[in-house]
Structures are given as structure tokens and as C-alpha cells.
Chain A
Amino acid sequence: MTARLRGGPLVLATPAAAGLLLFFVAPLAAFGVYSFLTGALYEVKPPFTLGNYEDVFAGNLNGKLARNSLVVGLLSATVCVAAALPMAYWLRYASGRRRTVALFLIVASFLASYLVRIYAWRSILGENGVINRALEGVGVISEPLGFLLYNRFAVTIALVHIFLSYVVLVLYAALAPLQASYLEVAQDLGAGRLQRWRRVVLPLVAAPALSAFLFVFVLSASDYVTPQFLGGTNGALLGLEVQVSFIGTGDYAYGAAIAFCMLASFVVCYALIALGLRLTRLDKVRFAT
């Protein structure tokens, strides 16, 4: 028996909508206004101006940071999705009784704090780290490899480590409704292993996979903590400039303008992905019920 709520979906959606309005839309709108005001010392004031946005594109600092952000974001997101997809597939169809343990291990990885993971990578990639010591131990190298740490490579590795578990769970959930019988039918119809992947699995997980891609891309490209610990001079990302503008220089208007430029670029990415799904009609692919 199902009880019907008076007002139905509207009532159910109201608390979440109110929360979003209050804690997301309103601050975002305030930031939007900030970005067009004149920056003073730790405050903003009239008149309205486009100067903050002009400043964002002036000089070569933000350009370099944006390129770093793009590269790290794309790399992290690509590696995460590419690595998570086979893991999710294995979990769903081939893990058998090991599934519970595997899922537990994936969830357990969330228990390690962000900073602990970052420092763990320091101890792995550092000049006296696990990799260098092992390679020196077996005589492969005589001097430690310095390029493993304090660059975009190290930042990307740490971010992949941090976000991979989330993506695996998202894709595992996406595959959950896909019965193994689908694949058996495809096999009976003559589809080989690759063809089953290409024509059955991938179309069905395309939308969730791209959502996960976007999730990792946005969080990686805007991260400002990991680059400080692992990035070196070529691993700094644009998020750091936002932080410095708000806390270091007290130029709220400029910081808000950078934040809005980043937001705009993420919206463009989202639009491109949505458009791609629509053009390939993958947004219409649904599990049969």
C-alpha cells in the first residue's frame, strides 16, 4: 500500500530546493555580483566594472595555471574512468564471492584522510621513497629518479588515487541493472567479447561514466590542496589563485571573477558532454524494464 503525499513531488522537493537556494544559489549569486564590483581591501564596493575579468586574462600566470588545471583535470578524469570501468565490470560480473570483500576494501579507502594519502604518495615517489629505493636496491638506477615527485605527474597520481573509489562505485551502480543475461544474449547472437563491450556495455554506462568523468575533472582541476604538497612549480592549479585572492590579497572581486571563469569553463564542459551524448543518442539508452 502506498500513501500519497498531498502536494506530491513538490512537497518532497521543497527542502532540497530550499537548501540549494540558500546554500548554493544565493552565495553563487553574491559571488557573481562581487565579480563585477570594484575590489577594495578585503571588501568590494561600487562602481560595477568588467576590470576584474580583464585582470583574469591579463598576464601569463592565470593562463599557465589554467593549462595546468586542464591537463591535470583531463588526465585524472580519463585515468579514473578508464581504470574504474573494468574494475566495476569485474565487480559486477566476475568477482563472485569476493565482491563483498572488494567492495569493503573500496569503501575502506575512504577512511584514509586526504592529507594522509598525499603524504603516502610523498613517501612512495620521493627521492628516498619506496620506488627509488626499490630500483636502487635491484641496481636498475644508481641515482634516485627526481621526476617522480613535485610535478603534474605526482598531482595526477594522487588525485586518481583519491577519486578512483568514487568512480568505481558510480560505475558499479550503473552496471547493477545490466543482467548478465544481456551479455549472454549478445554472445548467442554472435557478438564477440569486444563487440559486447562496445555495443552493449559501453552504451549503457556512457552517461554515468561521463558524469563520473565530469565529477573528477571538476574536482581535480579546481583542487588547491594536492598541488601545494605534490605539485612543485609546474603543478600549481587555478584554484590556488582563488584562495590567494580571498585570503592572501583580500581582493574578493578578482577572486570571484576567477571563480566564475572556472565555473563557466566547467559549464561549457558539461554542455559539450551533454551535447555529445545527445548527438550520439546515448542519452536515450536505457535499461529495459
Chain B
Amino acid sequence: MTADRNLHEGDTRRQFLRRAGLTTFTLGGGSVLLAACGGDDEAAVKTMTSTGPAAAPSASGRIDFLSFEAYDLPDPLKAWKAKNGVSVKPTYVGGQDEVQTKLKAVGSSAGYDIVTYNQGFKSLYRELDILEPLDEQKLPNLKHLFPYFAGDNGNFWVDADGTRTGVPFTWGLNSMIVDTRRVTKTPTSWHDLLEPEFKGRVAIVDIPTDSWGVAAHVLGFTPSQVTKQDGEQVFDLLAQIVAQSSGVSPSFGDATSKMTSGDADVCWAGWAGMNELAAAAGVTSFESVVPKEGSVSFCDAFALPKGADNVDTALAWMNESLDPKVNADAAVSLVAGVTVKGALRHLPKTLRELYAYDDLEGLLEQAPLNDNPPVESDEFVTIEEVQRGWQEIKAGARS
């Protein structure tokens, strides 16, 4: 069992960041050189197609940025922006869905230069054709990626034909968050949340793909390949979990608020950053644990949307995000994992120990990165069926 416990330092992810407004957080401990992190930064760049020496393009001008607050890495990229005279016009979203909604609604005339996407949305974005290929020649820092992220067996960032569309810069786990003020015996299984003692005490966030992913994983299915028949089991589990809650929270921040105010004790498919929001509210009793069934992970990547008009600067930005120091600073500000091996030496101890980097592949096998359910399928539960089913469960309309 991998546990990312007692993280009370660092910052947040997504809505949490938006709500908390904590975009910087100084961690103690200083830099520690790890023997384990020396060595092959050049590893596994097999997806790269470059033939000549790669170099980051020159950066300048304004970047129109569309993603979650703090994903524009205001502090980690501060020096780089100042040095290159780059300014940012951010448009923040509350959920990944808003990215494709905005890109499709406005089309290429929107002029966004950088968006981010969760790996689960790659298939959808491929189908929607809203991303531009990235020129790997202009992303020399790809060589720093951990082999797992460089390898990309799921084709989340590099298509089967070698076309790169994403630069993974942050990742984490959907763990179980437990408030130890009221839960004295930490649950060891996700199924423990169905026990009577947790009736009305479970927090759950309104991100159907996260909840579906965890539920499918717990039941032994691959979330993107759950047959229509097996899907009923997953929906049943989700319905039972929601029935154990007092209602679905619209954001991680809201779920944290529920727990800190004593209206919930545990969070299904939570995230380590909730600990920090709770700590900011004076509650330091949250633990982030991964039960015995494992969980699922998420990884977000920078991408170039169709219609981007400052491409070179966008590419230079993405390249800079893979600089070991910048990548580490991003992990600190997002309370997340690093995608660059050399970044480990820049991480404070708490974040370095958050995930088992010495066996990253093993960890991500236990808590894999998944694709979302397919857009269309006669065999598998589709993303629309997940959304509809989730709506029914939330409203108590699914028996």
C-alpha cells in the first residue's frame, strides 16, 4: 500500500487553488541531493522524432492561457517570464470540461496559446481535433522526463503515429482523505466507506470521471473499458457511496470545507492538496491514504490549441516547465508530483516522500493513469452514459 500521508505543506490543485488562492507556499527543508536521482536524465525519449539538435525557441509577447488557476505557474515561471518579457492573460476554468467547451464554442478564433488537459481527455480532444501537434525540436527539455512519462504507453501525450500533443508537467493520485479527528481507525479499503459508521459522513466531489475511475478500479475494471453489463456494478458502487454522503460537493475546496466543519469525515476520490486547504483553515488532522485496492492517478499536460498565435512562446513555456527547478517549484505550488527526474533534488522532503519515486512504474501500476470512457461504443460504457448515470445518482434518481 502506498500512502501519501501527512502532507501539510505545499499547495493545491484545480478548484482548491481557485478557492484558496494559495499560489505560493514556502516549504522548509531546503534542497537535498538524492543519490537516487542522479544519472539518466536523458532516458527514454523514444517518442521524440527530432533528427538534429533541439533548442527552445525564443519567447516574447503575451500568452493567452486557458486552464485552472495556478496551472499558469505564476511563481515557478516568474523569472523566466521576466527574463523574456512574456506576459500572461489567463482565463481560468472550474473543470476540464470547460476547456473543450470554450475551444469548441469559439473555435480557433479564440486565440488561446496554451491549454492543459487531463490525460483522460486525450481521446476526446483527438476526436474534437482541438489540439495542434507540438514540434519536439523546440522542446529539448523533454529529455528530462521520467521514463514513465516519456514512454507514454497510453498515448496520452504522443499519438501512436509519433505526433506529440502534450507536455506532462504535473500528476497525482485520487486518494482517500481521512479526518483523523473523528476517524480513529483509518479505512484500509474503499469498501469501508460503506460501513454504517460512515453514513452521511462521506464527502465526494462532482467530478464524474474521477469517481468513475476509482470505482471501476476498485471493482477490478479498466475505467475506459467497462462493459455495459459490468457498468451496472460500477454505478451501483457509486450510488452506494453517494448514499453514504450528504450530497456531492461541487469542488475539492467545498469537500474540504465540509470536512473541516465536521459535516464529513472521509473523502472518496480525494486529493492530497485537500490537506493543505484544511491546514490553512487550522485543521491539521487530514491524512491522505491509498487503500489496499489502489486508486487511479491523474496527469495534466500543457498543450497548444488550434488557433494559437504565439506558438514559439507557448513552446518555450512548455519547455521551461520541464526544467528540473521549475518543475519542482510547480509541484510545490500544486501539491503534486514531478514529471522530471532531476526535479526530485529540488523538492522538499514532504513532497519527495509523497509518492514512491524510486518505484514510479510500480506506483502507477497500482494507481494507473487511465483514459476516460469512450465517446462512442456499443460494447463499453461511454462517457455520456457515465455523465448521465452520475447525474441520476447525484439526484437520487437511480434505483
Contacts and interface: CB of A to CB of B under 8 A. Distances in A.
Contacts of A59: 392, 397
Interface in B239-275: 242-243, 246-250, 254, 257, 261-263
A256 to B, nearest CB: 13
From DSSP, what is the main secondary structure of chain A's interface residues?
Answer: helix
Interface stretch (B156-164, B312-320, B381-389): B381-389
Which of A41, A128, A149, A230 has most B Cβ within 10 Å?
Answer: A41
A149 B263 contact: yes
B307 interface: no
Contacts of A241: 391
Interface residues of A, number: 37
A109 interface: no
Contacts of A235: 247
A179 interface: no
Nearest to B199: A146
B127 interface: yes
A123 B260 CA distance: 11
Contacts, number: 89
Contacts of A127: 262-263
Contacts of A149: 246, 263
A248 B208 contact: yes
A236 B394 CA distance: 8
Contacts of A86: none
B247 A41 contact: no
Nearest to A246: B101
A127 to B, nearest CB: 5
Interface stretch (B44-52, B92-100, B145-153, B323-331): B92-100
A64 interface: yes
Given A64-B396, A234-B396, A244 B104 contact: no
Contact of A41 (B97, B375, B387): B375
A247 interface: yes
A240 B387 CA distance: 12
B128 interface: yes
Interface residues of B, number: 36
A127 B261 CA distance: 8
A247 B95 contact: yes
Contacts of A92: none
Contacts of B368: none
B381 to A, nearest CB: 13
Contacts of B187: none
B104 A248 contact: no
Interface string A206-241: 000000000000000000000011111111100011
Contacts of B257: 119, 122
Interface string A111-129: 0000000010011001111
Contact of B206 (A122, A123, A228): A228
Contact of A233 (B101, B128, B247, B250): B247
Interface string A244-286: 1011111100000000000000000000000000000000000
14 contacts: A42-B128, A61-B395, A64-B395, A65-B395, A228-B206, A231-B247, A233-B243, A234-B395, A234-B396, A244-B387, A244-B391, A249-B384, A250-B104, A251-B384
Interface of B: 95, 97-98, 100-101, 104-105, 124, 127-128, 200, 206, 208, 242-243, 246-250, 254, 257, 261-263, 375, 383-384, 387-388, 391-392, 394-397
Closest 9 CB pairs of A and B: A232-B247, A233-B396, A128-B262, A42-B104, A150-B246, A228-B250, A236-B395, A150-B247, A61-B397
Interface of A: 41-43, 59-61, 64-65, 68, 119, 122-123, 126-129, 146, 149-150, 228-236, 240-241, 244, 246-251
